[in-house]
Amino acid sequence: MGVQTVPSSASSTNQNTVRSNQRPKLDFTSALVPSLKRVSDVLLMLCVVAIGAVQPSLLNATYFVIFLVVLTWWALYTPLKRNTFNAIKRFLILYSALHFLAIYIYQIQMVQDAIPPKDFLARLIGLTALVSSECTKDSPWWELKVPEYTSWTGYVNFAFLLFIYHLLVVQYSWTRNGVKGFGKSLLGGMSSGEDQEDGGSSVHEEQYALSELNNHSVVEQEEAGKKALLSNTGKNCMIVNGPNEKNTTMTAQGLQAFLYFGLYHCYVFALLAMMTWGLLYHSVFGLLPGLLLCHLGTEKLQEMVFCLSPAILFYTEFLLLAQYVYSMDLKQELSHESYMKIIGFIFAENRTESFITLCVKILLSLPLFVLLRLHLREDYYNSLSDNDRLKRLTYGTFDISASSSRSAALQRIQANRTGENGGEAFGFITHFFIKYWIFVVITFLLINCPLTDSLRVYLYSIGFFVFFAALIVSLHISFTFFRKTIYLFLTVLIVYASVVLISVYTYQFRDVADFIHNHTILNKNWTEDIGLIVFENSANDVTLLFKSLILPISLIVVTMLQLKFFHDPWTKLVQGSGNGQTHRVATSGVDGAMNRAKHQSREVIEVLWRLAEVHGYRLILFVLVLVAVSHFCALNFVIIVFVALAACLPSLSRMISLLLCLYMSTVFIARRIYQLHLTQNSGITEEGSINRILDGGSCEQSKNDTLPEFQCASKWIGFEETNDLQSDLKGLVLVIVLIGLQLCVRYRQKHRRTMLGVPEPAPGTIFSEATPLSFDANILSCFKCLLNYGFYKFGLEISMSAMVIVAWFRMDFLAGMLIVWLVCFVVMSRAGCRVVWPVFLIYLAVLFPLQYAMAIGLPSEWGIEYPWTHILTDVDLDNNLSVFLDLANYNLPAERFYIFIICDAILLLIVAAQELVFRQEGESHPAGSNESIYKDGGYLLHKENPRYDFVVEQKSFVDFFKMVVFMYGHWITMIMLMAAGLGGTSLFALGYLVLAFWMLWQGNNLYTMYNYGRTIYWWKVIAVYGGGGHVLEIFLQLFGCAFLYTEFFTGNDLRPLSESSINPLCHQPIYQKHPLKFRDTECVGSAEDLSVLARETRIGFDTVAFIFVILQLRALNSWFFQRCMIEFRCEMIQAKRGAILINQLIEKEMSEQNEHQNKKVEEIKRRTEPSATAISSNSKGLA
């Protein structure tokens, strides 16, 4: 542990000449021996301190003190000669032998009687009774007993003494000559007659001899020394390469950079060790690192810590020695004043605790010894001249030359960024941390917010949420504003976290807590609400203290790392200007395959970024609705209003998002503050508490009461006394995080386009290269075009489908009104729909928050009756009518609106998106106009069809899909109509069967241009009939739910109702949820029968059939279907020509048969004529 003197120039020149000309062949075993000897020295000292800590006493204190002396000697950067170290070992060998003999002799009963084991002198010296013998009648002298009061550490100490004695002897005999002779033999510069003894060698001399193995000339040594520089990582956060960097591998460079990084920032590890000491063993010693961590981002912190390192190490050794004294078995004799605990002197409850405490404190003090050594080493090397400095291979933390190191560091930073010298991996990791460490800071800031049920709510944790909300708001304003204020923001955050950390830490001292309670207006409840709680010494409270302190400490550390290492390069990164250059991708060989894979992965990632940019805000709105319906209250009603406004006014989305963030943050803070003592009865009189003010002093609700749901005004507003974090509060934070991520996505996309010099893509498009004209080139092109323009082309049909599906789920009055709107849109042209659509959007936007208002209603304690409360005389009928009309009711839960509000939210988002489509569509749009090709009323086959004939020629699999949709889609729709007719149980289903059979009877004759107008008319008739059937079936629920339901179920049989031609049952009867709210008469019939009857009132088959009809109407008005019409016409013509040909062939065959038959008759006549003549002549002769 000293400094190697510089060899003379002559001798060094001769030796360097030999080294440069011939390289010694190194044996691995020979090279490993010095390292093992070094490790054995370290392990020996660890064993020495272990024997000293296992049984704190005067005898064992010698080992502890020797360990501190050797370690301090090493930390002072003073050469520890081999002879001195050997003398220490010889002393330990002798002392351990005498120590072992002393404990062995103490086991003699006579000695124990002279000095009792429980006597002060025995406990002070460390004489432990391992066995005892009593010479009595019941116990002879040769019978040994194990004392009950002796701890296990006494036996371990006795056995370990024997082990350490032999270990010292073996290790001393192995290392007494040092390792310098080995280094000289390797150099090959020693003569055989040179003295091989190195008893006077030091640690530095041996290291210098070993370092010669890696350098073969003075020039190489100087070059290596010049390259062993470290850049100013406080600004560049990039570690440069060390000696011989051109010949090192990527792994070696990474390890070397990691080592340099650790050495340069060793003071941070020392501070963390001190902070851990303070957390585990609460004392003033923990305040110093807390104060220093508050300045971690400053430039002078390293120099400050290095200057304080001697005082810190001196104080640490004082604490170790004091702790050693307080770990002795002297609890009765030592002082128990409270200030002793404040300083950090902890009494050991037992020998096990004393051993663990000493070991932990020794381990935590090791970085402080390293800190002092590095400080003194830097001072020494700074005092050397440049020539002397270059002769040593440095591993320093400070620059050798400020000017030269700065330029060298910049060159190496550039080399790492460009991938030179094999530094690509480390450069990639550095770049990754620069980009994303800010998100780590935000994550730790969120962790410190009151977001979990495990930790109690404190005002200081709510303060962290205020910082988080302010961060999102600044990001809302603009990214430039965020970039310019983030440094100030993080600085203020560090100051706040440091104040919290120091306040919570100092409050653990009893005197501080008593002073605050006695000399300030803050009582115990107020301090607990702030977060100042005294944790006891129990294991549970120590764990809570650790959790309370480790969170702000972690936040301070990661924030300081951001400011110290990553802020400046991050600022330069986000300010970069693009050059529009792109990189070519190799297409051949293994490297080409890897590059193509990387390129494709980047493309997939960019698609995901674009998807988040285009559709992220819709996801946020939907999550907002889920949050609002998870907890029905007046505060969440405002969120529903914001969702409606954001859906209708997308141009104001940025302002609405900002207001929404401010509102949600305010709600979260208010509802979390409501859980504190200061809002209840502590610090404020009971009559003036917030609960009394909100509820008017008349709200007394049992926890078992569920109806009326909002009896108290405080619960109706959204304030509840609970220790658990409600789901909607977690949802609010989730939405704020999603909004922040959405802003990051937009800024990232904008920055990327600026860097690459590419224009912004069209609104709503994902793949800029995909065009509607090339959608049928292949399946991938079709998929891309559907993502780009799918909703643009089929948004109206999707909206109508969503309307009928929502009506299917609701089956109430609003569902009937929705179907009325739907029928109107079906009969109108697209131009008419474009005009009426904004009115429909406003209708949904007003109805959406109105439903939520009906769900929460009014607090029942206000005593306000609804106007519709007594429309019907019977309470049960009134409840049923409220369900059908979606009206507020004190007797019904708000959760009945849960699924309805979610469905209406989805419908509102779809309708709002279609409104944007109506504004964008036109001939100038890349996807063209969505108008019908027969918009002028003329049904003609156009000769110039822009779509190629996919019926004749199928160019890709997309054409086969078009064949299914356009050639056979109407047949599939007929099948669905028949399924609706057969699956229904009412008279309305019969109409589907009649219309389906009539259409099937007409066949392809419907799709000729001659009567094509009537064909479209009949398809609209089917759609109108389906919508009208839906309306009638829905409004019949009014009678089934409100008037007929209770009457039918007071009888003893359900069969007449089930066999009726029109089934007016409720699709979701209320009696299933609240049977006690209805008449006292029993409902006869099994639950299975009732569920079957209720299920039969649904319109599922009708809904599916209606969707197919809407899609078929769109297909009938497209260019693609004209290709199918031509095919249908050709088939009809061919069928007619075939029939004519068949008739002609039949006529020809019949004429040929007639001629053949006539010939046969004539032949018969000719053949029978002689016979007939003969017969006639014979007849005449007979006559």
pLDDT digits (tens, 9 = 90+) for 509-521: 777 777 787 877 7
DSSP 337-372: -HHHHHHT----SSHHHHHHHHHHHHHHHHHHHHHH
Task: Write down the pLDDT at residue 392.
Answer: 59
The residue among 553, 575, 597 that closes a domain is 575
Task: Write down the pLDDT at residue 864.
Answer: 82
Task: Write down the pLDDT at residue 977.
Answer: 86
Give the residue, 664 or 1038, on which the prediction is more confident.
664
Mean pLDDT, the chain, rounded, equals 75
Which amino acid appears at position 84 of this protein?
T
The residue among 1117, 1137, 1164 that closes a domain is 1117
The tens digit of pLDDT for each residue in 214-268 reads: 444 433 444 444 333 333 333 333 333 333 444 455 556 666 666 666 666 677 7
* Residue 415 shares a structural domain with residue 279: yes
Please indicate, yes or no, if residue 1134 is contained in any of the structural domains.
no
How many structural domains does the chain have? 5
Q: Name residues whose C-beta falls within 8 Å of residue 576's C-beta, 6 or more positions apart in sequence.
A: 755
Lowest mean pLDDT among 248-262, 293-307, 410-424, 580-594: 410-424
Domain assignment of residue 848, given as a range: 779-931+968-1117
Q: Name residues whose C-beta falls within 8 Å of residue 149's C-beta, 6 or more positions apart in sequence.
A: 117, 118
Lowest mean pLDDT among 277-291, 417-431, 456-470, 515-529: 417-431
End-to-end Cα distance, the chain: 170
Residue 238, both tokens: 């990039």
**Verdict on whether the full-model pTM lies above 0.85:** no
DSSP 475-513: HHH-HHHHHHHHHHHHHHHHHHHHHHHHHHHHHTSHHHH
* Residue 392 shares a structural domain with residue 451: no
Please indicate, yes or no, if residue 1077 is contained in any of the structural domains.
yes
Virtual torsion, Cα 1068, 1069, 1074, 1078, nearest 10 deg? 160
Share of the chain above pLDDT 90, in %: 18
* Residue 566 shares a structural domain with residue 629: no
Share of the chain above pLDDT 70, in %: 70
Please indicate, yes or no, if residue 406 is contained in any of the structural domains.
yes
* Residue 210 shares a structural domain with residue 271: no
* Residue 798 shares a structural domain with residue 868: yes
* Residue 94 shares a structural domain with residue 209: yes
Please indicate, yes or no, if residue 65 is contained in any of the structural domains.
yes
DSSP 1079-1106: -SSPPPS-HHHHHHHHHTT--HHHHHHH
Residue 958, both tokens: 């997309």
CA dist., res. 324 & res. 498, Å (int): 31
pLDDT for 502 beyond 50: yes
**Hey, how many other C-beta atoms are within 10 angstroms of the C-beta on 473?**
16
pLDDT for 406 beyond 60: no
The tens digit of pLDDT for each residue in 779-808 reads: 888 888 888 888 988 999 999 999 999 998
Lowest mean pLDDT among 57-66, 739-748, 878-887: 878-887
Task: Write down the pLDDT at residue 511.
Answer: 74
Task: Write down the pLDDT at residue 1120.
Answer: 81
* Residue 838 shares a structural domain with residue 876: yes
Q: Which of 1058, 1115, 1120 is nearest to 1089 (CA)?
A: 1058
CA dist., res. 549 & res. 533, Å (int): 12
Q: Which of 423, 433, 500, 508 is nearest to 461 (CA)?
A: 500
Task: Write down the pLDDT at residue 722.
Answer: 66
Alpha helices by DSSP H, 24-151: 28-54, 58-75, 82-106, 109-114, 120-125
Task: Write down the pLDDT at residue 233.
Answer: 36
* Residue 1111 shares a structural domain with residue 977: yes
Please indicate, yes or no, if residue 588 is contained in any of the structural domains.
no
Give the residue, 1032 or 412, on which the prediction is more confident.
1032
Are the C-beta atoms of 1007 and 1130 separated by less than 8 Å?
no
Task: Write down the pLDDT at residue 847.
Answer: 94
Please indicate, yes or no, if residue 772 is contained in any of the structural domains.
no
Mean pLDDT of 577-601: 63
CA dist., res. 833 & res. 845, Å (int): 18
The residue among 395, 422, 449 that closes a domain is 422
Print the SS3 string covering 910-970. Answer: HHHHHHHHHHHCCCCCCCCCCCCCCCCCCCCCCCCCCCCCCCCCCCCHHHHHHHHHHHCHH
Give the residue, 1051 or 600, on which the prediction is more confident.
600
Task: Write down the pLDDT at residue 163.
Answer: 92
Assign 1156 a pLDDT band (cuts: 50, 70, 90): confident
Are the C-beta atoms of 79 and 3 separated by less than 8 Å?
yes
The tens digit of pLDDT for each residue in 326-368 reads: 888 877 776 655 555 656 566 667 788 888 888 988 998 898 8
- Look at the block and give the residue holding tokens 């904008």: 750
Main-chain phi, psi angles of 132, to 5 degrees: -145, 150
Q: If you average pLDDT over each of 29-38, 494-503, 847-856, 860-869, which comes out highest?
A: 847-856
Please indicate, yes or no, if residue 549 is contained in any of the structural domains.
yes
Mapped onto helix, strand or coil, the DSSP state of residue 132 is strand
Please indicate, yes or no, if residue 1125 is contained in any of the structural domains.
no
CA dist., res. 1174 & res. 1180, Å (int): 10
* Residue 681 shares a structural domain with residue 632: yes
CA dist., res. 1018 & res. 1006, Å (int): 10
Residue 1019, both tokens: 């398809």
pLDDT for 93 beyond 90: yes
* Residue 262 shares a structural domain with residue 343: yes
Assign 483 a pLDDT band (cuts: 50, 70, 90): very high
* Residue 258 shares a structural domain with residue 329: yes
pLDDT for 389 beyond 80: no
- List own/partner pairs for 9-12 with CB under 8 A and 24 or more apart: 12/218
Assign 492 a pLDDT band (cuts: 50, 70, 90): very high
Residue 1090, both tokens: 């009732």
Are the C-beta atoms of 1066 and 1040 separated by less than 8 Å?
yes
pLDDT for 143 beyond 80: no
- List own/partner pairs for 699-705 with CB under 8 A and 24 or more apart: 699/861
Virtual torsion, Cα 768, 774, 779, 780, nearest 10 deg? -20
* Residue 72 shares a structural domain with residue 206: yes
pLDDT for 1070 beyond 60: no
Are the C-beta atoms of 888 and 882 separated by less than 8 Å?
yes
